[in-house]
Amino acid sequence: MVRGRISRLSVRDVRFPTSLGGHGADAMHTDPDYSAAYVVIETDAEDGIKGCGITFTLGKGTEVDWSRKGRGAPGDSGRPKRGVGLVGQAGGKACLEVTCGHEILQKGQIGKKEREKQMLAQGYPAYTTSCAWLGYSDDTLKQLCAQALKDGWTRFKVKVGADLQDDMRRCQIIRDMIGPEKTLMMDANQRWDVPEAVEWMSKLAKFKPLWIEEPTSPDDILGHATISKALVPLGIGIATGEQCHNRVIFKQLLQAKALQFLQIDSCRLGSVNENLSVLLMAKKFEIPVCPHAGGVGLCELVQHLIIFDYISVSASLENRVCEYVDHLHEHFKYPVMIQRASYMPPKDPGYSTEMKEESVKKHQYPDGEVWKKLLPAQEN
């Protein structure tokens, strides 16, 4: 049903100076400024319906530069995190998801009402990455971890991969604080090559991580398979996906038995449809989906996908958990709601992408209030 015509389209470069506090820093991206290309499509429809879209980048990535694709050097934080979410669809024929999709969705009808009720009452389980960015001191790590425990978090992710001694010390701190039972995940953000990943993780195995995330280049599907073969016997799964930009890559990772936890990213996979294909494939291969989130708005978006996955596709919470990062939610009109370390289902219509106009104005790059103050200071 046509309700109106597009009357206006705006694209804005919105950046948050997160690097100033070391937020978001990992072994490859040492000073990210969480940013987004923010697109609003307005219509002349009577009800004023409009569409908002965000593409997450690490700052300079919002200046799309096609000549700088591929794997950057450590510290090359400004690059787009590989590809642009809005340019999402891979060409070619749909994969196996089309044929098996109907069957999976039909099976998903069984018990759907109960799962919906359960989600509304309990929410979808989450883990926190907010305590242990590489940019944080040990004191900050301890303080944030103590607070997270108080707030009821039971699953924690720690950044690793730059320096083994640092990793040993930080993992010891966090394991001591959370105790042996709570869940610890590790994330190397692509830092290692294949043998290095196996060696390094053999040393960190004593901290009992559930998974090592992005142990090597996200393009190295067979490398992931090798790492997975070596680490699964140590009780460590491989998690990856935040840099995978289409369903074909996920299909190959699944076929090669290269991962034990599949991490969709709502922006990277550019479009809800592409995400849905991957959810269906993961179900077919019986691999749990544990979405990547954080950045600007990724939590807001991906909560819709993962709750749908539970209610209509996977019907399971076993080994499943969605990432949560506690930054920048205040800039959204419909921010996520976390209760008892779980995502409570969003009730507002839409995909929770709309940002507050006031925040966009302030953080627009380079002429927003925030950057006008910061840029001269940085130039000196």
In one-letter notation, the amino acid at residue 320 is: R
Minimum CB separation from Mg ion for residue 36, in Å?
18
Q: Per CB under 6 A, which of residues 27..66 are in contact with ligand LFC?
A: 29, 32, 58
In one-letter notation, the amino acid at residue 81 is: K
Q: Per CB under 5 A, which of residues 159..188 are in contact with Mg ion?
A: 187
Name which of Mg ion, ligand LFC, none residue 29 binds, using a CB cut-off of 5 to 8 Å depending on partner kind: ligand LFC
Asked if 265 touches Mg ion (CB under 5 A), the answer is: no
Interatomic CA distance for residues 367 and 69, integer angstroms = 27
Asked if 187 touches ligand LFC (CB under 6 A), the answer is: yes
CB closer to ligand LFC, 58 vs 225: 58
Candidates 83-91, 102-110, 292-300, 314-322; binding stretch for ligand LFC (CB under 6 A): 292-300
In one-letter notation, the amino acid at residue 191 is: R
CB closer to ligand LFC, 115 vs 170: 170
Fill in the per-residue mask, 97 to 136: x = in contact with ligand LFC (CB under 6 A), - = not in contact. --------------------------------x-------
Residues in the chain: 380
- Using CB positions, name the residue nearest to ligand LFC: 24
Candidates 59-67, 81-89, 113-121, 242-250; binding stretch for Mg ion (CB under 5 A): 242-250
Any idea of the CA torsion for 11, 322, 303, 312, to the nearest 10 degrees? 130
Angle at 118 between CA 113 and CA 122, to 5 degrees: 160
Name which of ligand LFC, Mg ion, none residue 336 binds, using a CB cut-off of 5 to 8 Å depending on partner kind: none
> Tokens for 192?
């290692």
Instruction: Respond yes or no: is residue 292 known to be catalytic.
Output: yes
The dihedral through the CA atoms of 224, 225, 231, 237 has a sign that is: positive
Candidates 223-231, 236-244, 266-274, 330-338; binding stretch for Mg ion (CB under 5 A): 236-244
Over its C-alpha atoms, the chain yields an Rg (Å, rounded) of: 20
> Tokens for 166?
């640092």
Candidates 87-95, 105-113, 251-259, 289-297; binding stretch for ligand LFC (CB under 6 A): 289-297
φ, ψ dihedrals at 13, nearest 5°: -95, 105
Among 24, 59, 101, 123, indicate the residue that binds ligand LFC (CB under 6 A).
Answer: 24
Asked if 80 touches ligand LFC (CB under 6 A), the answer is: no
Interatomic CA distance for residues 304 and 187, integer angstroms = 24
Q: Find, among 375, 374, 362, 376, the residue nearest to 13 by Cα.
A: 362
- Which residue in the list 81, 251, 292, 327 is annotated as catalytic? 292
Cis amide leading into 218 (omega within 30): no
> Tokens for 245?
């930009």
Distance linking the first and last C-alpha atoms of the chain: 55
Interface residues toward ligand LFC, by CB under 6 A: 24, 26, 29, 32, 58, 129, 187, 189, 242, 292, 294-295, 323
Q: Any idea which residues carry the catalytic annotation? A: 159, 292
